[in-house]
C-alpha cells in the first residue's frame, strides 16, 4: 500500500520546490513560495521516513531534533546584517551532508563502476570542496580572517594540480576498483582545493562565490539522486544548481567581470598594487546640523546605502530620516547598486526590515539618469559602487564596473567612519571632489544626529 | 531505458526550468532567493535518512548517516527560517500610514 503512495508524495514535493522558486519572482507571492517550499521539504522527509527500507529510526529522529535545535536559534539570533555569512555557514553544513553520504555509500561498497560511481565521485568532490570553501567564505565575511585576497606566487598552479590530482584519483575509482588509500586522499584533495578556491577571492566578490557554491551544493544533491536512484533529489538538485549558476552569472554581469577573472583572483592582485599609490589629499567635511540644513533645502534626495549601513545597523535611523524628509515634501529615493553590501539584494532586505516602501528602492539602470537633476546624493556606507574611477581611470582594477553616478548630483554627502579604502582596497575619487562633503562618523549616530537637527528646526 | 539515463533527462529538464524561473527574479529578491535555494539544496536530508536508516548498516555508515542527518536538518531549518524572516519585511507600506 505505502509503496503506491510514496511516488505521489515525492512528486508533490517536487512540485512544491518548483512552485517555491517560481513564486519567489514577486514580493507579493514570495512568502507563499517559502511556505510551499517548506511543505515540499516536509513531504520529502516524511515520504522518506515512510519508505520500507528505512527501518532504524532512533538515530534519525535524534539527528532531526539536534539539527533543528541548532538551526532555529541560528536563524533567529543572527542579526539580519549577518545573512550572507549565515547562508555560507548553512551551505557548509548542507554540503558536508552530501559529502558524508557519498563517503558512506562508497564504503558500503555496493556502487557499480562506471556511471553510478562517477556520480558518487562528483557528489563527494563537490560536497567536500563546497564544505571547506563555504567555511572560508564564512570566515572572510565574518572577518575571522582577512577579507583581502590572499595570494602567493604559483597559486593557480598549486590549486589546479590539486584539482587535477583529485580528478585523476576520482577517474581511477570510476574505472577500476581503487586501493584503500584512494578515497581518503581524494577527500583531502577535494577539501584542500575548496580552501584554495576561495582564499584568493576578495570580499567584494564573495556574493558571486556564494551563489556559485549554492550551485555546487545543488549539483552534489542531484548526483546523490543518481547514486541512490532518487528522482526527487535529481529534480531539487538540478533546480538548485541552475538557480545558483544563473544568479552568479547575473552578479558577474552586474560587476562587469568574467567568471575566470573572479575565480582566479586577478582582481585582488591589481587592487593590492593600486593601494600603494594613495596620497594624502584634502577633503571637506561637515557636521550633522550642516548636513541637516543642506537636506532641508533640497527638493530631491537620493540615498545610496552600502555595507557600512549594514554594519552600523543604520537602516531604522534612515527610515526616520526618510519620514522626516518626506514630510517636508522632499522627494527621497534609494539607489541600490546590484552588488551593494555583501549579497545581491542585501540592501533591499535591510531597508525593507526598516519598513521603507520597496517601490522607493530603485535599481542602478532606473536611477542613474536622475543624478544630474538631484540636489543631494547621500552616500551611507557605500564606497566602491560610487567610485568614479570606474568610469575614468583605465588603470584602475575596477575600471569598467558599472557604478551609481553619485558624483553627478549637485551636492554629494558621504557618511563614512574614516578615509580608509573600501572592500576593493582602492581610493575613491568621489571624496576629493569640490561638491563633496564628508560626514565622518558612525552611520547610525550620524543619521540620528541629522534627524534630531531636522526635528529641532521645525 | 536504464534508470540513470531516465534520470539524466529529468536532470536536464529540471535544470532548464531552474534557469528560466530564476532568470526573471527581480534583484529585490536575490538574497531571499539565495537563501531559499540554500534551503532546497538541503534536500540531501533525504539521502541522509536513507543511508542511516538502512537495515544492515555498518557502524561507520550509521555514524556518517547520523552526522549527515544533523547537518542537513540544520541546513533545512536555518535556510527556511532565515528566508521567511527576510520576507516578513517585504511589505508595501501604505503612504497614509503615519
Q: What is the pLDDT of residues A320-369, one digit of tens each?
A: 999 999 998 899 999 988 777 766 677 888 888 888 887 888 888 889 88
Most confident of A52-56, A66-70, A180-184: A66-70
What pLDDT score does A398 carry?
73
In whole angstroms, give the CA distance from residue A265 to residue A267: 5
Question: Sorting pLDDT into bands at 50, 70 and 90, what band is B73?
Answer: very high
Write down the number of H helices and E strands in chain A: 18, 6
Q: Give the span between the Cα atoms of B76 and B69, in whole angstroms.
A: 10
Q: In what order do the strands lie in the sheet with A331-336?
A: A361-363, A331-336, A300-305, A376-380, A411-416, A436-440
Q: How far, in Å, CA of A163 to CA of A157, rounded? A: 10
Residue A271 grid cell: 587592487
Q: Cβ B78–A336 below 8 Å, yes or no?
A: no
Given a cut of 60, whether residue B96 has pLDDT beyond it is no
Q: Which residue has the higher pLDDT, A266 or B9?
A: B9
Residue A176: Cβ within 10 Å count: 9
Question: Of A175-189, A204-218, A357-371, A389-403, which gets the smallest average pLDDT?
Answer: A389-403
Query: What's the grid cell of residue A56?
Result: 532504524
Q: How sure is the predictor about A278, in pLDDT bands with cuts at 50, 70 and 90?
A: very low
CA distance linking residue A132 with residue A69, whole number of Å: 23
Which residues of chain A does B18 touch, with a Cβ-Cβ cutoff of 8 Å?
21, 238-243, 246
pLDDT tens per residue across span A86-145: 888 998 999 999 999 999 999 988 888 888 899 999 999 999 999 999 999 999 888 888
| Residue A214 CB-half CA count within 13 A | 34
Which of A64-68, A178-182, A216-220, A375-379 is predicted with the least confidence, judged by mean pLDDT? A178-182
Interface mutation vs chain A, best among B38, B62, B88, most A CBs within 10 Å = B38
Give the Cβ contact number of residue A301 at 10 Å.
Answer: 24
Does the pTM exceed 0.80?
Answer: no
B9 touches chain A (CB under 8 A): no
CA-based nearest distance B72→chain A, Å: 5
Which chain B residues are within 8 Å of A234, Cβ to Cβ?
7, 10-11, 14
> Which residue of B61, B64, B90 is in closest CB contact with A27?
B90
| pLDDT at site A132 | 95
Comparison of pLDDT for A127 and A455, the residue scoring more: A127
CB contact under 8 A, B53 and A54: yes
Q: Is the pLDDT of residue A279 over 60?
A: no
The grid coordinates listed for A71 are: 538551526
Chain B's closest residue to A240, CA to CA, is: B37
DSSP string, chain B: --HHHHHHHHHHHHHHHHHHHHHT--GGGHHHHHHHHHHHHTTHHHHHHHHHT-TT--HHHHHHHHHHHHHHHHHHHHHHHHHHHHHTT--PPPTT--
* Residue from B3, B20, B26, B31 whose CB has the most chain A CBs within 10 Å, to mutate: B31
State the average pLDDT over residues A207-233: 90
pLDDT at A62: 93
pLDDT over 90 (residue A307): no
Select the residue from B20, B27, B43, B96 to test the A interface by mutation, using most A Cβ atoms within 10 A: B43
- The chain A residue lying nearest B3, using CA atoms, is A229
Q: Which residues of B touch A78 (CB under 8 A)?
A: 82
CB contact under 8 A, B64 and A103: yes
CB contact under 8 A, B91 and A18: no
Contact partners, residue A193, CB within 8 Å, separation at least 6: A129, A159, A162, A163, A166
For the four alpha carbons of A125, A127, A132 and A134, in that order, the dihedral sign comes to positive
The set of catalytic residues of A is 384
A101/A354 Cα distance (integer angstroms): 41
Query: What is the DSSP pairing of strand A300-305 with strand A376-380?
Result: parallel
Can you tell me the mean pLDDT for A248-266? 66
Residue numbers of B between 23 and 62 with CB closer than 8 Å to A: 23-55, 57-58, 60-62
pLDDT > 70 fraction of chain A, expressed in percent and rounded = 91
Q: Could you identify the residue written with the cell 541560528?
A: A74
User: What pLDDT does residue A234 have?
Assistant: 95
Q: What's residue B29's pLDDT?
A: 77
Q: How far is A439 from chain B (nearest CA, A)?
A: 28
Q: Are A176 and A189 in contact (CB under 8 A)?
A: no
Q: Higher pLDDT residue, A17 or A264?
A: A17
Q: Which residues of A touch B62 (CB under 8 A)?
A: 56, 59
Is residue A448 within 8 Å of A317, Cβ to Cβ?
yes
- Could you give the CA distance from residue A19 to residue A21 in angstroms, rounded to a whole number? 5
Mean of all residue pLDDT scores within chain A: 84
| pLDDT beyond 90 at A309 | no
Give the position of cell 531552474.
Answer: B18
Q: Which residue in A has a C-alpha nearest to residue B68's C-alpha?
A: A97
- How many beta carbons lie within 10 A of that of residue A276, not counting itself? 6
Cα–Cα nearest to A353, from A385, A395, A310: A310
| Statement: residue A45 has pLDDT above 70 | yes
pLDDT (mean) for A423-449? 83
Which residues does chain B have within 8 Å of residue A247's beta carbon, measured at their own beta carbons?
22, 30, 33-34, 37
pLDDT tens per residue, range A386-401: 888 888 877 777 777 7
Task: Kindly list the domain boundaries of chain B, sorted by start residue.
Answer: 27-87
Tell me the ipTM for this assembly: 0.90
pLDDT value at residue A80: 72
Within 8 A of A48 by CB-CB distance, chain B residues are: 45-46, 49-50
Q: Residue B45 pLDDT > 90, yes or no?
A: yes
Q: CA B98 to CA B89: how far, in whole Å?
A: 18
Chain B positions in Cβ-Cβ contact with residue A67 (cut-off 8 Å): 69-77
State the best of A6, A23, A71, A219 to mutate against chain B, taking most chain B CBs within 10 Å. Answer: A71
In angstroms and rounded to an integer, the radius of gyration of the C-alpha atoms of chain B is 19
Average the pLDDT over each of A11-25, A75-89, A225-239, B37-51 and give the range with the smallest value: A75-89
- Search chain A and give the residue with CA nearest B54: A54
% residues pLDDT > 90 (chain A): 34
**Confidence tier at B98 by pLDDT (50, 70, 90):** very low
**Strand-pair category, A361-363 with A376-380:** unpaired
Amino acid at each position: 500500500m505505502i509503496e503506491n503512495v510514496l511516488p505521489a508524495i515525492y512528486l508533490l514535493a517536487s512540485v512544491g520546490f518548483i512552485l517555491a522558486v517560481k513564486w519567489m519572482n514577486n514580493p507579493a507571492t514570495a512568502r507563499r513560495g517559502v511556505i510551499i517550499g517548506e511543505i515540499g521539504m516536509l513531504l520529502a522527509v516524511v515520504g522518506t521516513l515512510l519508505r520500507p527500507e528505512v527501518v532504524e529510526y532512533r538515530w534519525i529522529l535524534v539527528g532531526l531534533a539536534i539539527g533543528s535545535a541548532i538551526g532555529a536559534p541560528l536563524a533567529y539570533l543572527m542579526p539580519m546584517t549577518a545573512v550572507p555569512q549565515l547562508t555560507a555557514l548553512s551551505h557548509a553544513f548542507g554540503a558536508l551532508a552530501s559529502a558524508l553520504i557519498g563517503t558512506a555509500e562508497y564504503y558500503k561498497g555496493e556502487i557499480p563502476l562506471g556511471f553510478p560511481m562517477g556520480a558518487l565521485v562528483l557528489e563527494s568532490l563537490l560536497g567536500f570542496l563546497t564544505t571547506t570553501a563555504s567555511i572560508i567564505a564564512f570566515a572572510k565575511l565574518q572577518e575571522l580572517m582577512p577579507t583581502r585576497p590572499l595570494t602567493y606566487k604559483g597559486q593557480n598552479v598549486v590549486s589546479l594540480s590539486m584539482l587535477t590530482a583529485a580528478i585523476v584519483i576520482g577517474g581511477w575509482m570510476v574505472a577500476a576498483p581503487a586501493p584503500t588509500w584512494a578515497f581518503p586522499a581524494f577527500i583531502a584533495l577535494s577539501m584542500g582545493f575548496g580552501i584554495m578556491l576561495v582564499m584568493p577571492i576578495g570580499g567584494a566578490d564573495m556574493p558571486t562565490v556564494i551563489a556559485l557554491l549554492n550551485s555546487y551544493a545543488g549539483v552534489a544533491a542531484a548526483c546523490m539522486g543518481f547514486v541512490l536512484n532518487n528522482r526527487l533529489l535529481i529534480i531539487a538538485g538540478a533546480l538548485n544548481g541552475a538557480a545558483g549558476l544563473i544568479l552568479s552569472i547575473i552578479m558577474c554581469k552586474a560587476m562587469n567581470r568574467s567568471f575566470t577573472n573572479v575565480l582566479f583572483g586577478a582582481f585582488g592582485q591589481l587592487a593590492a598594487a593600486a593601494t600603494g599609490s594613495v596620497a594624502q589629499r584634502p577633503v571637506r567635511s561637515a557636521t550633522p546640523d550642516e548636513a541637516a540644513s543642506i537636506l532641508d533645502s533640497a527638493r530631491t534626495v537620493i540615498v545610496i546605502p552600502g555595507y557600512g549601513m549594514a554594519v552600523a545597523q543604520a537602516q531604522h535611523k534612515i527610515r526616520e530620516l526618510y519620514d522626516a524628509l518626506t514630510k517636508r515634501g522632499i522627494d527621497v529615493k534609494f539607489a541600490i547598486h546590484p552588488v551593494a553590501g555583501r549579497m545581491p539584494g542585501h540592501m533591499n532586505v535591510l531597508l525593507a526590515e526598516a519598513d521603507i516602501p520597496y517601490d522607493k528602492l530603485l535599481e542602478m539602470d532606473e536611477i542613474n539618469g536622475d543624478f544630474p537633476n538631484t540636489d543631494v546624493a547621500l552616500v551611507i556606507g557605500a564606497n566602491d559602487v560610487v567610485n568614479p574611477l570606474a568610469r575614468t581611470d583605465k588603470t584602475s582594477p575596477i575600471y569598467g564596473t558599472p557604478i551609481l553616478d553619485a558624483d553627478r548630483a549637485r551636492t554629494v554627502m558621504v557618511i563614512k567612519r574614516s578615509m580608509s579604502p573600501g572592500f576593493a582596497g582602492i581610493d575613491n575619487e568621489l571624496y576629493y571632489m569640490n561638491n563633496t562633503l564628508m560626514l565622518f562618523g558612525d552611520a547610525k549616530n550620524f543619521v540620528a544626529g541629522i534627524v534630531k537637527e531636522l526635528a529641532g528646526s521645525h | 531505458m536504464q534508470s540513470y539515463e531516465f534520470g539524466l533527462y529529468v536532470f536536464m529538464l529540471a535544470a532548464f526550468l531552474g534557469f528560466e524561473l530564476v532568470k526573471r527574479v527581480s534583484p529585490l529578491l536575490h538574497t531571499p532567493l539565495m537563501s531559499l535555494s540554500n534551503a532546497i539544496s538541503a534536500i540531501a536530508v533525504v539521502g541522509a535518512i536513507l543511508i542511516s536508516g538502512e537495515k544492515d548498516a555498518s557502524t561507520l555508515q550509521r555514524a556518517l548517516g547520523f552526522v549527515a542527518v544533523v547537518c542537513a536538518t540544520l541546513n533545512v531549518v536555518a535556510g527556511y527560517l532565515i528566508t521567511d524572516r527576510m520576507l516578513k519585511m517585504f511589505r508595501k507600506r501604505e503612504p497614509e500610514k503615519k
